[in-house]
Structure 1
Amino acid sequence: MARAASPGSWASVRRAAVAKVVVMVVSGAFGLVNTRLIIGHFGADAYAQYGLLATFPTLMPFTDMGIGAVILNAVAASRDLPHDAVVRRTLTTALRVLLVSALLIATAGIVLGLLGLWPTLLGARLMEGGGRTATVCLVIYAAALPLSVGQRVVVGMGRSATQVLSQGIVSPALSCLLVITIVARLDAGNAVSVLSYLANTLVSIICLVVAWRATRPLLRDAVRDVPRLRAVRGVRIVDTAVPQLVQSLAIPIAFQTDRLLLSHLGRSEALAQYNLAAQLFNLLTQTVVVTGVAMWPHFARARADGRVESPFRPALLFGAGGLAMGLVLAALTPWAARLLSDGAVTIPLALIVASVLNVGVEAFKQPLGMYMTDPRGLRFQMLPVLVLVPVNLALSWVLIEYLGAAGPILGSVLSVAVCQILPYSWWVARDVRRRRGEAARDGGQ
């Protein structure tokens, strides 16, 4: 018979949520300081270039090649992590893939720099010497990519709060680097973007150190095996990595086109309204997503232990919590909008309602998606996600005419409900019944 999880098994999920709230507060405060320092001492052009180059990671969601899912499942399922031979080979395989990816990214950045193509790709907002800066930023990003295995190991160990808290060091670290540059009286407008990439690299370094110490000698042995291509064969990762890679490519396309559609189809004030509402409600959706990822190792460990845990009750509780937080923020939104925009932008009721529903839908979806993180579940998720892209685009296109800035948000709510929540619920219900039947048969023998 399947064993039930203890209430304490969800402690890591709660800690991740609290950690995300703390990090958002700290990052928000230091973010305002950094904005003031950059604009005040290096100019508006440096700030514009900093914002432009900071988008590189969001434009390249494919860089880890879906490896994160492979590491999370292997680490979460392990009973003796420091000495687990399967996890060791999995990490060795992951490092090899990430090193190849890093080499390709760095090479692309250097070639673009040598050919002088950065201004063509990024537009006229680059400062003089901005092409070299873009190349350096991309090389730093590529160099940090293999180090990101530490973050995946930490999350797989059920220590998502550690990974989230490490992100809180980025904004303070950037503040320190900016102050040092200012005190040294360096004319470093182009260096601002480089400093931000160096600060972000600290997250991977911190998590790698934590993972290295917590799993000794696992990571040391995995790194040692990387060049031993013939003696140490890799593990099969296609079944997990490819579905995760497809989702990492499709989901940004589905949800990052809202501003583009509003720019072309919406009224003049719609884009400003959307941006301001997103600035507020993204605080909740980011917390929802981070907390959802913390559930991944919980369900992976349950599978490895032979426990059959349905995600429907967590989904209901999580969805209700998301709606409750959304309603609280909705009550504060008119006041916050006046404060942030100095009264220049008013967020309409339809946009507030759509944003609350979006938080609730995303929250309900997370436990279902985190349950479906074995190869079978990830493969099933691919088709709904691929269908989601055109459906969301079409709904947003139509609804903008009637609802303005609320159109794309409501389009996302409807497309997620129809293309993800409904098929995910069907698949999960069948899988839970199947696994409980197998557990009952095994228990009766």
Structure 2
Amino acid sequence: MADRPADARTTGESGGELSSGERRAVLYGTLIRIAGTPVVAVAGLANTAVVVSHTGPAIFGVVTLIATVGLLFPFADLGIGAAVTTVSARPGPLAADPVARATIRRALGVLGVVGAAVAGLALTLGVADGWHQVIGLTTSPADRWAITVALCLFAATIPAGLGTRILIGIDRNQLAVAILMLNSIAGLTATLALAAAGVSGIWFAVAGPAGALAGNLVATVVALRLTGLRPAVLRAPAPVPAGSRLLAGSAWMFLIGIGLPLGLQSHRLLLAHLSTPDELSRYALMAQIYALTWSVFATAGMAFWPVFVKRRNDTGATVTLWRRAVLGFAGAAVPAAVLLAAGGPPAADLLGRGQITVSAGLATAFGLLLLTQCIHLPSGMLLTAPAELRWQAWCVLAMGLLGVVGGGLAADRFGATGVVLAAAGAVLLAQVLPDLLGVPRLIDRRADRSEPPGEGPELGVAGGRVEPRPTQRGRTRDGVLRQRRFRAQPPHPGHQRLR
């Protein structure tokens, strides 16, 4: 059985500094993303050039709308992916942890059903020829079947995406990044295959979901092998402590998954319905450039998820680390935003072969969006306990509502620039400001409550059964250390002892 590295799982870091394994996950994952960005950029350049040459600038916007459908529905995993990441970060070997095994097994089963439902809905819309009413545009009679195939491929990525969540939880963020960067290469390969087959128009929308599915399948296979979670292990009964809540907090994460695309990924739909095809194409092209920049920060940010999970009961160290992370991400985002604003238009001209032009205003709007998202990123990785996810959910839903309303009002008059500025303003008002005012208070509340079994990372294996560790250190907001003791609960009557 393959266990994760000792510093990633079997140690209980509780200080305000990163351990060596955590530093590797943050640093190497970011460096791999940066080093691989030219590869992704070249793949994106080649993919865009092929698609534009075979479809034209107007249809290109529709193709990207369909190809990136996963960005519109991050809630398709019902928030379960977040629960899997959190449980994967618990101390001890993952395959020997009954709560982790039961959580992952249930997650795979539930998301398999969700994927089948999404595929069934896509087939229904395809047979009924109803896709033009959903996307607001029609390019050819082939739309109904091309979009249906793309959505069925997307449906398969829903359960397959759990592999990446596990890798992040076991401090293998760098490996998750390296594998998922293959998505761009796989997508380009699919695009070239479609071009060689002589297809045209909307069918190029199939390439993106096909590449994403390939990368997610590889990540899942690697994650299961590294953790020893072979199919036989997952199928075996996994008795869990009485009172354990598998997939705790996933309902709130589901709401977060609804609010995020409303505020950050609904721009294409707003422009498709309220603006012109040219504005949609300008947005789609600049969004690709933005995505390359944002992916570097998102990669570094995801590595902090298990870092914060391990420190849930050390409130003083948690707040200190959070403040350092916010300052670090903000400091790095400022020059990146300036570079995006200055370099976006010429890069777009190169990618679009001069057929699609991006204004300095649109590039600057994306720079402001990058800055606000980077300031919020550490808070999103920190607030993953169920009570904190509830707080996050209301903030995200407010952000989504502000983004949609503001984008809808701005799309007709200001086009792509208006919807992006509306999104940046929504993130600032509904996420960044509440973060700065509310996170220290939320973390301080952890000192007054303990996590029930199955919901936190503090459970260990001792004496043949799962029990809380006897002592955890916590800090009050003024930095005074204090001891909190947890009494080991007797096993539930009739509950099977863990072996």
Checking the alignment, whether the CA contact within 8 Å between 2:67 and 2:207 is kept in structure 1 is no
Could you say which residue in structure 2 is the equivalent of 1:26? 39
Is 2:329 the counterpart of 1:315? no
TM-score when normalising by structure 2: 0.74
Distance verdict in 2 for CA 1:32–1:373, change over 3 Å: same
Aligned to 1:441, the other structure's residue is in SS state strand
Q: Following TM superposition, by how much is the alpha carbon of 1:7 offset from its aligned partner in structure 2, in angstroms?
A: 5.6
Q: Which residue in 2 is equivalent to 1:15? A: 28
- For residue 253 of structure 1, what is the aligned residue in structure 2? 262
Of 131-140 and 384-393, deviating more is: 131-140
Query: One-letter code of the match for 1:18?
Result: L
TM-score (norm 1): 0.82
SS in 1 for 2:483: helix
Q: Matches of 2:70 and 2:485 in 1, distance apart?
A: 51
Unaligned segments of structure 1, at least 5 residues: none
Question: Aligned partners of 1:271 and 1:37: how far apart in 2?
Answer: 18
User: 1:119·1:126 contact (CA, 8 Å) conserved in 2?
Assistant: no
* Kept after mapping to 1: 8 A contact 2:82/2:253: yes
Q: How many percent identity over aligned positions? A: 26
Q: Check if 1:243 corresponds to 2:252.
A: yes
| Partner SS, residue 75 of structure 2 | coil
- 5 Å-filtered alignment, 1:138-217, equals 138-177=151-190, 186-188=197-199, 193-194=205-206, 196-216=208-228
> Residue in 1 aligned with 2:5?
none
Which residue is 1:95 aligned to?
A: 108
Q: CA deviation at 1:240?
A: 1.1
Measured on the aligned residues, the alpha-carbon RMSD in Å equals 4.0
**How far 1:215 sits from its partner (Å)?**
0.8
Counterpart of 1:441 (choices 451, 467, 482) is 482
Shift of 1:387: 2.0
- Following superposition, the deviation at residue 238 of structure 1 comes to 5.8
**Corresponding residue for 1:302?**
311
Compared CA separation, residues 259 and 200, structure 1 to 2 (3 A): closer
How many Å separate the matches in 2 of 1:83 and 1:136? 39
Stretch deviating more after TM superposition (434-443 or 357-366): 434-443
8 Å Cα contact 1:337/1:347 also seen in 2:
no
In 2, Cα distance between equivalents of 1:37 and 1:402: 31
CA contact (8 A) 2:379 2:435 kept: yes
2:368 aligned with 1:365: no
CA pair 181-252 structure 1, distance change in 2 beyond 3 A? closer
The corresponding residue for 2:395 is 384
Q: Which residue matches 1:137? A: 150
Cα pair 1:89 1:222 within 8 Å, conserved: no
Aligned with residue 68 of structure 2, among 50, 55, 59: 55
Q: Counterpart in 1 of 2:139?
A: 125
Give the AA of the match of 1:313.
Answer: R
Assess, with a 3 A threshold, how the Cα gap between structure 1 residues 153 and 351 changes in structure 2: closer, same or farther. Answer: same
Find the residue that maps to 2:171 and give its secondary structure: coil
1:360 Cα deviation after fit: 2.0
One-letter identity of the residue aligned with 2:211: A
Deviation of the 1:317 alpha carbon: 1.1
Equivalent in 420, 423, 427 of residue 416 of structure 1: 427
Contact kept, 8 Å, 2:99 with 2:246, in 1: the verdict is no
Aligned equivalents of 2:294, 2:59: Cα separation in 1: 30
Cα pair 1:337 1:343 within 8 Å, conserved = no
Distance 1:304 1:82, change over 3 A: farther
1:311-368 deviations in Å (ceiling 9; x for gaps) = 01110111111112222333434544555564974624x5555433322221111111
Cα 1:133–1:326 change in 2 (3 A) is closer
Give 1:321-360 correspondences, 5 Å limit.
321-333=332-344, 335-336=346-347, 339=350, 342=354, 345=357, 347-348=359-360, 351-360=362-371
Q: Any idea what SS the aligned residue of 2:70 has?
A: helix
Q: Spell out, residue by residue over 1:193-222, the C-alpha distance to the aligned partner (whole angstroms, 9 max, x if none).
A: 555543322212211121122111x34245
Rate the CA distance shift 1:421–1:191 in 2: closer, same or farther, 3 A.
closer
1:425 corresponds to which residue? 436
Aligned residues: 437
Partners of 1:193 and 1:263 lie apart in 2 by 16
SS state of the match for residue 318, structure 2? coil
Give the Cα separation in 2 of the matches to 1:417 and 1:267. Answer: 28
Report deviation, 1:274.
Answer: 5.1
Structure 2: runs of 5 or more not aligned: 1-12, 448-473, 487-499
Q: CA deviation at 1:398?
A: 6.5
Contact 1:399-1:408 at 8 Å conserved across structures: yes
**Higher mean C-alpha displacement, 230-239 vs 19-28:** 230-239
d(CA) in 2 for partners of 1:118 and 1:264? 14
C-alpha distance in 2 between matches for 1:173 and 1:268: 28
- Cα separation, 2, equivalents of 1:96 and 1:357: 40
